């Protein structure tokens, strides 16, 4: 059979399977839509001002009025306690200089730090003329954090590994002891190499189509610009899809395991890797990177996620080729193992 025709038939078979289309296209699109609906405020609210109560005769009253982000209002202790409970003010300064806050938190910490500074200026025992109150000792390099982008990028990375399913099905369908088709196939003179290549190309095409749709969807509907270097991103995604094919071959080799049980393995495997790479929010990724860094160093999905955001948001290509080499390396090793496992296999009975 003509090679291109074989690829065409394999693509048509997959396109006719509603479940496959739902899993590879529908599911990722719905997932990123949920992310967009829930993560827009993940970085938290901006700090605009800290409201403080104080008695007018408090020694800190006038000094606090000079601080740009603090608003001071005069009030009694009992009024302050009510306002604190209702979270209308962050803190209250007593006549004796003690501070009352409702609970621990960033705003309370900033207020404490400012009041400490006023007190410590006296404690230091240096005449006031030696203090340069107008000098800015800090040069700020401002960044706008967007931790939610990791979730989008890990979704794209996750989809790039979906080729696992195609190659796993391919190997299972070719094993004579696992499927009827495999038994017929092994008895036929049809070229195995040709079939494996055609299936891999068809799987790669479907994987890239799925990735392309999700990227296009994110480019159209997401507020932030996520893909500043699209060709480089596609390069990583192609490598991810090829690695997915390799990993699928290995899973497909598992002997005498029902295809239904086998199909759960990549689902859990990919979701697990995506979870560690940041799919469920940056918190898990941060904790894993801090406590068990080797996990994400081995995690191909974390490599894809990291490289995509480095390339697109940091203009950093340092790890680009290393990641591609790592992903291609996975594929080469997997192909090699598959080749050894499948070649010259003989069965007493099927």
State whether residue 194 is helix, strand or coil.
helix
- The answer to the question of residue 177 lying near another protein (CB under 8 A) is no
- Extract the tokens encoding 338: 């598959």
Closest CA to 162 of 274, 330, 297: 274
**# residues near another protein by CB under 8 A:** 104
Report in angstroms how near the CB of residue 257 gets to another protein at its nearest: 8
Site for another protein in 112-141 (CB under 8 A): 112-117, 119-121, 123-127, 130-133, 135-141
- The answer to the question of residue 100 lying near another protein (CB under 8 A) is yes
- Each residue 205-224 as x (binds another protein by CB under 8 A) or -, in order, gives --------------------
Count the residues in the chain.
350
Which H/E stretch holds residue 117? helix 106-123
Which of these ranges, 1-9, 183-191, 235-243, 271-279, lies near another protein under the rule CB under 8 A? 271-279
Unique residue bearing structure tokens 């074989």: 6
Nearer Cβ to another protein (2/98): 98
Nearer Cβ to another protein (124/220): 124
Cα(275)–Cα(200) distance, integer angstroms = 27
Contact with another protein (CB under 8 A) among 10, 32, 39, 199: 39
DSSP per-residue letters across 256-290: T--HHHHHHHHHHHHHHHHHHHTTT-HHHHHHHHH
- The answer to the question of residue 336 lying near another protein (CB under 8 A) is no
Site for another protein in 56-75 (CB under 8 A): 69
Nearer Cβ to another protein (80/331): 80
Nearer Cβ to another protein (191/297): 297
- The answer to the question of residue 175 lying near another protein (CB under 8 A) is no
Cα(217)–Cα(83) distance, integer angstroms = 46
Is the Cβ–Cβ distance between 257 and 250 less than 8 Å?
Answer: no
State whether residue 50 is helix, strand or coil.
strand
State whether residue 177 is helix, strand or coil.
coil
Nearer Cβ to another protein (126/181): 126
Which of these ranges, 175-183, 197-205, 229-237, 277-285, lies near another protein under the rule CB under 8 A? 277-285
């Amino acid at each position: 059979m003509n090679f291109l025709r074989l690829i065409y038939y394999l693509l048509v078979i997959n396109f006719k399977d509603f479940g496959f289309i739902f899993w590879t296209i529908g599911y990722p699109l719905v997932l990123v839509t949920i992310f967009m609906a829930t993560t827009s405020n993940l970085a938290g609210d901006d700090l605009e001002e800290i409201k403080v109560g104080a008695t007018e005769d408090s020694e800190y009253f006038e000094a606090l009025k000079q601080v740009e982000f603090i608003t001071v209002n005069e009030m009694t202790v009992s009024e302050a306690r009510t306002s604190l409970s209702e979270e209308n003010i962050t803190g209250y300064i007593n006549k004796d200089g003690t501070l009352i806050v409702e609970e621990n938190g960033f705003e309370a910490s900033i207020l404490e730090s400012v009041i400490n500074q006023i007190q410590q200026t006296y404690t230091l025992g240096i005449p006031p003329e030696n203090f340069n109150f107008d000098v800015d000792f800090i040069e700020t390099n401002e960044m706008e954090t967007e931790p939610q982008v990791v979730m989008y990028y890990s979704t794209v990375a996750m989809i790039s590994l979906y080729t696992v399913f195609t190659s796993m099905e391919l190997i299972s369908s070719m094993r004579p002891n696992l499927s009827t088709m495999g038994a017929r196939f092994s008895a036929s003179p049809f070229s195995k190499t040709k079939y494996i290549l055609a299936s891999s190309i068809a799987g790669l095409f479907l994987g890239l189509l799925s990735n392309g749709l999700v990227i296009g969807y994110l480019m159209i509907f997401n507020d932030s610009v996520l893909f500043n270097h699209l060709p480089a991103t596609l390069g990583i995604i192609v490598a991810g899809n090829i690695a997915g094919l390799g990993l699928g071959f290995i899973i497909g080799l598992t002997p005498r395991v029902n295809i239904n049980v086998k199909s759960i393995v990549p689902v859990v495997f990919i979701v697990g890797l995506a979870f560690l790479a940041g799919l469920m929010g940056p918190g898990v990724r941060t904790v894993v990177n801090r406590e068990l860094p080797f996990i994400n160093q081995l995690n191909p999905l974390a490599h894809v996620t990291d490289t995509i955001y480095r390339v697109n948001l940091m203009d950093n290509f340092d790890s680009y080729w290393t990641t591609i080499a790592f992903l291609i390396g996975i594929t080469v090793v997997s192909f090699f193992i598959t080749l050894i496992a499948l070649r010259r296999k003989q069965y007493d009975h099927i």
